[in-house]
Amino acid sequence: MNAIAPKMSDEEKYREYQKKVEGENINPQTLLATDYLNHFNEVHMLLDMLSDMPDCLEDVQDWHPKSYQDHFRDSAFTAKDLAVEAYNYSPPEYRQPFEETVNEMDKLVLNTISNVTAAITTSDTAKLNKLVDGYRPQMEKLIEDCGAIINGARGSAHQQDIDSYFSEEIDESGLDQNAIDDLFG
Confidence band of 178 (pLDDT split at 50, 70, 90): very low
Q: What is the pTM of this model?
A: 0.78
Confidence band of 14 (pLDDT split at 50, 70, 90): very high
**pLDDT of amino acid 167:** 42
**pLDDT of amino acid 7:** 77
Confidence band of 174 (pLDDT split at 50, 70, 90): very low
Confidence band of 135 (pLDDT split at 50, 70, 90): very high
Residue 122: pLDDT above 80? yes
Q: What is the pLDDT of residues 84-118, one digit of tens each?
A: 999 999 999 999 999 999 999 999 999 999 999 99
Q: What is the pLDDT of residues 59-75, one digit of tens each?
A: 999 999 999 999 999 99
Own/partner contacts of 89-94, CB < 8 Å, gap of 24 or more, are 89/10, 89/13, 89/14, 89/17, 89/31, 90/30, 90/31, 90/32, 91/14, 91/30, 91/31, 93/154, 93/155, 93/156, 93/158, 94/29, 94/30, 94/31, 94/32, 94/149, 94/150, 94/152, 94/154, 94/155
Residue 41: pLDDT above 60? yes
What average pLDDT does range 118-146 have in this prediction? 96
What is the residue extent of each domain of the chain? 24-165+177-184
Confidence band of 9 (pLDDT split at 50, 70, 90): confident
> Which stretch of DSSP H or E encloses residue 82?
helix 80-87
